[in-house]
Amino acid sequence: MWALFTMKIISWNVRGLGSFEKRRDVCQLVRGKKPFILCIQETKLPVVDVSVCKSIWPDVNVDYSFQPSLRASGGLVTLWDANEVEVWSSMSFDHVLVILGRFLKTGESFVLVNVYAPCDIYRQQVLWNNLSNKLVSFLDQNVCICGDFNAVRCLEERRSVGSVFNQVWSTNFNNFIEGNMLVDLPLRSRNFTWFQGDGKSMSRLDRFLLSEN
Amino acid sequence: MQLALPRGLSDHCPLVLSIDDENWGPRPLRMLKCWESFSGYNNFVRDRDKWSSFQVEGWGGYVLKEKLKLLKVALKEWHQSHTQNIPARLVFLKEKIEALDLKGEAAALCEKEIEELHDCTEELFSLSRTNSSICW
């Protein structure tokens, strides 16, 4: 019953959380938006400790769960405001970090999946399979999957120069979404979420997917 | 609602998912059944007073839409002056009755005061009924 209560979740692929400037950027976002939960992809940090969390979210009683990066690649962290959210368990497998908890004000429980998908089609399919298997155990729960999926659903979600749109890639992703009956919310304010920076290549790689109930 | 923000130092935009139960789009018209029990309500809405006083030019559907919009504003004002804050008015009436009762104990009330006491009592009863009939 996602629609019955007020809440705010932010998801961001930050491309490295090591530098001071990046942490300050995240901190400003958090201060401005005041989310309940913050999901970060690509921390590129082998360890996320309390001092990292405090540096990006200093104002609240913050708690967190993380998946270490493999050398300098990947890495996930999910942080939450412990005054708004209670988390009783977290688990992690390849490219995925899951927390289970509830919103304290409403008592509504949830499953939040933070994803950083690999960028090759075969490993991505393995991820969709693993994730689908996992989601079966969360039937009838409020499931929210967010992150960088490194995939687009259709031609319109990608603009690029020189490379060809891969239909199979999108079909795999669409099958994952539809097979698990996830709701893909429309995006406000722009069409793409990733920009190469050359003004030519851009895609909608990031999104929130919600369970139907 | 899913919103993408400026990406800043990353090449990805932050996404904000917010579900706000106060944001359901335009507010619907609320009509309180008890409005009908206030004298003058029917006249106010239907007859000479409001509906026909709105001057709107255009085709029928547009005129209807605009008139409903104007009526909504007028109803809001009417509600504020007639039915809003009933509990406070009930308190006020009770206090007024109490004051007149005490005055009557000390000395005989004049005719005007007796009339006021009657009016207050009558209004208190009618407002109390209205107040308990409002289904929020």
Chain B residues whose beta carbon lies within 8 Å of the beta carbon of residue A9: 16-18
Please compute the mean of the pLDDT values over residues A143-161 and round it to a whole number: 93
Hey, of A1, A6, A76, A192, which one would you mutate to test binding to chain B, going by the most B CBs within 10 A of its CB?
Answer: A6
> How many Cβ atoms from other residues are within 10 Å of residue A201's Cβ?
16
Q: Among B83, B96, B103, which residue's Cα sits nearest to residue B122?
A: B96
Please compute the mean of the pLDDT values over residues B98-120 and round it to a whole number: 85
Q: Do A25 and B1 touch (CB under 8 A)?
A: no
Chain B residues whose beta carbon lies within 8 Å of the beta carbon of residue A33: 16
A119 in reach of chain B (CB within 8 A): no
**Does 3.40.50.2300 match the CATH number of domain A2-211?**
no
Query: How high is the pLDDT of residue A40?
Result: 97
Spell out the domain ranges in chain A. Answer: 2-211
Asked if pLDDT for residue A2 goes beyond 70, the answer is: no
Query: How high is the pLDDT of residue B135?
Result: 53
pLDDT digits (tens, 9 = 90+) for A174-209: 999 999 999 999 888 788 999 988 888 899 999 999
Of the pLDDT bands very low, low, confident and very high (cuts 50, 70, 90), residue A3 is very low
Q: How distant is the Cα of B10 from the closest Cα of chain A, in angstroms? A: 5
- Rounded Cα–Cα distance for residues B94 and B111 (Å): 20
Interacting residues of B113 by C-beta distance below 8 A, sequence separation 6+: B100, B103, B104
What is the value of pTM for the model shown?
0.68
A36 in reach of chain B (CB within 8 A): no
Chain A residues whose beta carbon lies within 8 Å of the beta carbon of residue B2: 185-188, 207-208
Chain B residues whose beta carbon lies within 8 Å of the beta carbon of residue A150: none
Query: How high is the pLDDT of residue A121?
Result: 93
Query: How high is the pLDDT of residue A68?
Result: 95
Query: How high is the pLDDT of residue A59?
Result: 84
Please compute the mean of the pLDDT values over residues A49-55 and round it to a whole number: 94
Please compute the mean of the pLDDT values over residues A163-183 and round it to a whole number: 92
Q: What is the mean pLDDT of chain A?
A: 92
pLDDT digits (tens, 9 = 90+) for B62-99: 888 888 888 888 888 877 777 777 888 888 888 888 88
- Rounded Cα–Cα distance for residues A36 and A110 (Å): 13
**CA-to-CA separations, A88 to A8, A110, A197, in angstroms, rounded:** 19, 11, 40
Q: Do A188 and B3 touch (CB under 8 A)?
A: yes
Q: Which of B12, B19, B20 is the closest to A193 by Cβ?
A: B12
> How many Cβ atoms from other residues are within 10 Å of residue A157's Cβ?
19
SS3 A34: coil
Quickly tell me which residue has 């995939």 as its tokens.
Answer: A151
Please compute the mean of the pLDDT values over residues B121-128 and round it to a whole number: 84
Q: Among B43, B53, B11, which residue's Cα sits nearest to residue A202?
A: B11
Asked if pLDDT for residue B22 goes beyond 60, the answer is: no
Asked if pLDDT for residue B19 goes beyond 80, the answer is: no
Query: How high is the pLDDT of residue B88?
Result: 84
B57 in reach of chain A (CB within 8 A): no
Asked if pLDDT for residue B126 goes beyond 60, the answer is: yes
